[in-house]
Amino acid sequence: MALIQVEKLSKTYKKGDNKIYALRNINFDIQEGEYVSIVGKSGSGKSTLLNLLGGMDTSAEGGVYYNGKNLLTMNEKDLSYHRKFTVGMIFQSFNLIPSRTAIDNVKLPLIFSNYPVMLRETRACELLYNMGLYNRALHYPSELSGGEAQRVAIARALANKPKVILADEPTGNLDTATSAEIIGLLKMFNEKHNITIIMVTHDKETAYKVSHKTILLSDGEIIKITSNQNK
Amino acid sequence: MKISDIILLASDNLKRNIFRTALTAFGVAVGIGSLSSMISLGKGVSTNISKQMESNDIFTGLTMSSRSMDFDGYSNKTILSDDKKQTVPLSDSTIKEILSWEEVATAFPEQIKPATINLEGKSVVTNIKAIPLEMNGFYPFTKINPGSFYTSESEPCVIMSKIVLDKMGITTPYDSLIGKNIEIITRVFDLDKIDLITSKKKQLPVKNDTTILKIKGIVQTTSFSAGIFNDGIFLPPMTCSFIPSIDLRNVYDIINGEQGKYGKYNTVHIRVKEYAMLKPVKLRLEEKGFSVFSIGDKLEDFEKIFFMLDTVMAVIGSIALIISIFGIVNTLIMAIYERRKEIGIMKSLGATAGQIKMIFYFEAAIIGFGGGVFGVLCGKLISQASGKIANSQLGNFFDSNIEYFSFSWEIVFFSILFSVLVSVIASIYPANKASKIDPLNALRRE
């Protein structure tokens, strides 16, 4: 059974009297441990799809199933649980809390998940160490470079050991070298820890290079799903 | 999420805008400070002044007369008015009967004579009052210092009151006054000048009579002592009766043809054993046709006044607190607008609506706690200063310094608790608003 099943997923919004489709009849499966990229032009519905997969948005028709449970019909409490333990989110603009140090940002999901107080520090340090940021732990986001900030965001996303990482244009604000570094990190977690990665990007080349599956979206519809099981 | 985590997150958030947090807490402090000091004033006034009154036996004394009577509690003047219906005479047998009542501690006729007294070259017009030996164990004669109470009903001595000495402006140490002579000048009929009544000069046929007695003791009475004891000088009854003086009431009675109608005495002072016995004794005397006055009757009025005072003060403090509540609501709503994205991030990381609410409740609680503690401290300081001012202004009104503000631990505890509770209540709306923030919208708004 697939880890994630998206069935007949449609999302519309109204513009005047017209009904606009942000997503139209989307269907696909994602297996555990897959690296999936969602590519398409601006406004193609990539981020909308990712938000629906992350349980950040539930106003859509159809179904987004995680282990058989439909996110679109979940209550607020179950959605919070999903965001806390099942998925970890990475954003283009990092979304670190500026008033908290790197380590405190990483500790934040551990606080919400009631992770044992005594072990939080160790867990956060371990994650930052794995990201090569141990010496930046007490720095504030404003004191970090873009690559460092994104690595802190990845560490934070991994804090509660989720099965899935949802990355919304994780390299959109980074230069080529740093982008490669971040993609490399995601690939490493995918391969080494069997974490499912779902990444939204407009960079088709990178997507085809690193992903097991690439979903090409255009105007809210899937144009093509490319599988490359050799990756 | 553990409480320690919530406190940490909430205090981190407050620290970010320390100036605004301090201002909001200051607003709460003003409310709590005024509320706590006002409640403590209400409590202090009602408890300590009542206690002072009780310690002065002010509520166990009553004055009875065969005439109808009214009392001006502030000037302590007894206004007697002739009421033709009240004609039960006050005699020795009446006093004897009253003394036999179980509830009565003592009863004696009030013999008061107007006089001018001279001491150390200074003089004052006052009253001389006959006080029986039995009063030795009663207030204010329990507070004779220096000196002592007289030992016989005919001892040629006086007990001075501190108030009279103050009025005379005598600054000599009181110890040195004991045993000194005092001149008591009273007015008596001058039979040699009786023809003056009918003469064109219209002068009364009176002359001065001087009696010299020794000072036996000084009683530390205050303006707040009961009835006849707050002023004047006190003499043994026999000694007092030897001092000649015109009794103008008797003169009026003779003129009105009512000689003997009201009995031998004008008024009798009665002390009951305890306050609870005052009403039954008063009713019994009234049933017998006497007119009775007691300041104890006024206790219920006092209590009503204290209750009103408490209420008014609590209302003023509450208004200040309500204003500070608006401050809290404003601060938290501002925080929501500023931290909208942050709340979105927290929700995207799995924070529940309840956890977001709890952070805001604790922020308000911390402001409330800080404001409460600071407010109580300010209230305590203000009340101490006000208490000192009040005591310096009203010092001679009571026996000792009064604690006008009763700042008990209960007031401290409940003021802080109230401050926290009110602050948390004020945060309900902002916290609900924050918990309903849609993470998607919040993150998009960037």
Query: Distance (Å) from the C-alpha of residue B7 to the closest C-alpha of chain A?
Result: 12
Which DSSP helix (H) or strand (E) runs through B32?
A: helix B18-44
For residue B176, the number of C-alpha atoms closer than 13 Å in the C-beta half-sphere is 6
Q: Can you list the residues of chain A whose pLDDT is less than 70?
A: 229-231
Q: Can you list the residues of chain B whose pLDDT is less than 70?
A: 49-58, 67-88, 194-204, 221-228, 230, 247-264, 296-300, 302-303, 306, 310, 393-402, 445-446
pTM comes to 0.68
**Domain shared by B99 and B130, yes or no:** no
Domain A4-227 fold is Rossmann fold (3.40.50)
User: Are A169 and A198 contacting, i.e. CB atoms less than 8 angstroms apart?
Assistant: no
Write down the pLDDT at residue B39. Answer: 81
At which of B256, B279, B314 does a domain end? Answer: B256
Contact between A83 and B12 using a beta-carbon 8 Å cutoff: no
- CB of A150 less than 8 A from some CB of B: no
**Domain shared by B86 and B185, yes or no:** no
Write down the pLDDT at residue B79. Answer: 45
Contact between B2 and A113 using a beta-carbon 8 Å cutoff: no
B16, B350, B355 ranked by CB distance to A83: nearest: B350
In chain B, the number of structural domains is 3
The C-alpha atoms of residue A111 and residue A47 are separated, in whole angstroms, by: 27
User: Helices (DSSP H) in A59-213: which residue ranges?
Assistant: 76-81, 102-112, 117-130, 146-158, 176-193, 204-210
**Domain shared by B31 and B88, yes or no:** no
User: Are B409 and A56 contacting, i.e. CB atoms less than 8 angstroms apart?
Assistant: no
The C-alpha atoms of residue A229 and residue B12 are separated, in whole angstroms, by: 48
Contact between A56 and B12 using a beta-carbon 8 Å cutoff: no
Taking contacts as CB-CB distances below 8 angstroms, the residues of chain A near B439 are 56
- Name the burial class of residue B19, with classes exposed (0-12), middle (13-18) and buried (19+) by CB atoms within 10 angstroms of its CB: exposed
Which DSSP helix (H) or strand (E) runs through B354?
A: helix B353-394
B1, B353, B439 ranked by CB distance to A111: nearest: B1
The C-alpha atoms of residue B65 and residue B59 are separated, in whole angstroms, by: 18
**Domain shared by B237 and B125, yes or no:** yes
Write down the pLDDT at residue A7. Answer: 93
Where are the domains positioned within chain A? 4-227
**Domain shared by B124 and B34, yes or no:** no
**Domain shared by B44 and B154, yes or no:** no
**Domain shared by B234 and B332, yes or no:** no
Mutate to test the interface with B, among A71, A77, A80, A117 (most CBs of B within 10 A): A80
At residue A93, what is the residue type?
S
Query: Distance (Å) from the C-alpha of residue B340 to the closest C-alpha of chain A?
Result: 11
Closest CA to B349 of B1, B7, B43, B56: B1
At residue B196, what is the residue type?
L
Residue ranges making up the domain that contains B408:
3-54+302-444
Strand partners, A221: A218
A62 CB neighbour count, 10 Å cutoff: 18
Handedness of CA B387, B390, B395, B396 (dihedral sign): negative
- The dihedral formed by the CA atoms of A202, A204, A208 and A214, expressed in degrees to the nearest 10: 50
